[in-house]
Structure 1
Amino acid sequence: MVSVIYHVVSLFSGVHSWQLMYGCELNDDGTKRGYFQFGYDGEDFVSLDKSSLTWTAASPQAVITKHKWEANRAIAEQQKAYLENTCIEWLQKYVRYGKDTLERNVSPQVSLLQKSSSSSVSCHATGFYPSGVTVTWQKNGQDHIEDVDLGQLIPNEDGTFQVTSTITVTPDELKNNKFSCVVEHQGETISSILTEDKIKTNYASVPIGIILAAVAGVLLLVVTGVAGYKVYQKKKGFKPVNASDDGSNSSAHSDPKA
C-alpha cells in the first residue's frame, strides 16, 4: 500500500487534508487485484471500481467529484492500467530483491519451561520464520485444550518470531499422564513430551543430606582455619596488647612534657 497526504489551505475554513491511497496484489494463480481511493480530512471520499471503470462516492460531498471524473473515462482507464501493469511490475521487482528474506524458512527452537514444580509449564517456540505457526497440547495422544493459554506472536530483533503456550497441570497429573507440546511450522512437526529431564526450571531438587553435608564441610573448614591461625601466631611469639595498655601508651606519646 502506498499512501500520500496533501494539505490544502482554504481561505474560508482553514487547513484540510487530501489523502490518496493505492496498492496492487498478485496472487499465486496469476489473478490481480488493486485499489485506488481518496480521502478528505481523514474520512473516505471517493474510490475507483476497477472492473466497471466507475467511481464510488463515500459521502454526499463526493458525488460532484464522482460525476466529474466519470465524465472523463480516461481518468479511470489510466488508473486501472497503472494498477494492473506498472504497479504489478514494481511489485514483482521488489519481491525479487527481497527473495532471500521473503522465501527463507527457519525452523523453531522449542523449549519447555517451568518456574517451580507446582507452577504451569510453558512451551516456548522461537527463532522461526515465516510467522505462521501452530502450538497445541496433547494428553495421552489426544488434543487437549483445557487450562491452556496461548500467548501473542512476538517478533524477534533478527526478524524471526516467537510464541509461548502455557498449560496448567498438577504434579500428579503430570506424573500419571503423558502431556506433549506440538509445534507445527511449514509442514514440520515438533513434539516435545513433558518429562522431568526436558523441562528447564529455576529450581533444583537437591537431597537434604547433600545440603547438610555441604554445610558441615564449610563449618569444618572455618574451624580448622581459625585453629591453624592461632597455632601460627603462637609459634611467632605474638603477644596480644590489652586495650588499657594501648590506651596508656597512646596518651603518653600524645601529651609530651615541655
Structure 2
Amino acid sequence: MMRSVVLLLLGAHLAYAGTHSLKYFYTAVSGDIDFPEFTTVGLVDEGPFMYFDSNAMKAVPKTEWMRQSVGADYWDSETQTSIGNHQNFKNNIQIAKERFNQSKGVHTYQQMYGCEWDDQTGAKDAFLQYGYHGEDFVSLDFKEMRFISPVQQASISVQKWNNDRGKIEGHRNYFSTVCIEWLQKYVDYGKSSLQRKVSPQVSLLQKSSSSSVTCHATGFYPSGVTISWMKNGQEHHEDVDVGELLPNEDGTFQKTSTIRVSPEEWKNNQFRCVVEHQGETKEEEEIRTNGGDSLPIMPIVAVLIAVVLLIAIGAIGFVVYKKKQGFKPVSGSDDGSNSSAHPQA
C-alpha cells in the first residue's frame, strides 16, 4: 500500500539474508510545497546509492562504492535521463489531475519499480507500481503480465498500456533479465558494504509517564528486522503500531514499534520488547528515556529519498543508462523518452 505523500512505499520488499533488491523511485510534485518538483532515487538493499532532483539538476552517488565503481559518463547519462523523466512526469501529473478533476492544492504522482534476487536459491521477483496522491493508481501484474488498477480514473492508461503487447514483452524481458543482471552488478560493486552485518541498538523511549512506549531499534544492517512485544511471557499484539523502516545517514537502518498502555498496566505487568535481526535476538524492558526530545529518526527524503519518498530514503526514483553503464530500463516510452518503465498516462 502507498501511504506516504513524499516517499513511495509500495509494498515492503526488505533485504533479508540472501535476498537483494534494486528499486527506483520517481516522484513528481505540483502545488505550493517546499520540495523539488521532481526527484529520482535508486536503492540497493533498501539503501540509496544515487539521487537526482529538479533543483540541483544533477545525478549524484550516495555511496562510496558507487563513486569508486563508475565514471563520469555514468552520472552524465543518469542526469540526462532524469531531466527527460522530469518533463515526462510533469505531463503525467497534469493528466492525473485532469482525470481526478483537481486543479488546486498539492499533488503527487509516483512510481516504484525494480527487482529482487535471492543469491542462495536464485529466486527472482519484480515490481512496477504507480501512485497518485499517496494511493495506488496502476501496477503491473507479473503473473498475468497485464496492468491493473483499483480506480476508474486509471482505466484509460490501463487499456492503452495493455494493448501494447510489445511493451509488455519488453517489461517481461527487462524485469526478468536486465534488472537482475544489474542488481547482481551493484551487489558486487558494494559487496564490502552490502554484505556486512551490524546488530541493532535497542531502547525503550517514553516522553512522559502517561505516553505510549516506543521500542526503538537503530544502527542495524541489513534491513530485515522484526520487532514484537511480550506481556508476562506471552506475545502481545493489541494496541501496537509498527513504524516504517527508515535509513540512517551511515547506511544503517532504524525502525520503531509503539505500544499504547496505561501507567497502571505497565506497572502491574511485565512488558518486553523483542528485536530479532539476522538470527540474533535482543530484549529490552527498562525505559531509558523519559521526557525530552523526539526520536532521532532521519527523514527518508533527506537521504534519498530515501524509498520510499520511499525513500525517499533519500527521496524517490530512477531510470538508468545504457546497458554497459548501468541499470537499463526498457526502451521506447509513449512520449519519446528512452524508458518505458514510466510511460505517459
Q: TM-score, normalised by structure 2?
A: 0.37
Considering fraction of residues, name the structure with more strand: 1
Considering fraction of residues, name the structure with more helix: 1
Which structure ranks higher in relative contact order (CA pairs < 8 Å, sequence separation ≥ 6)?
2
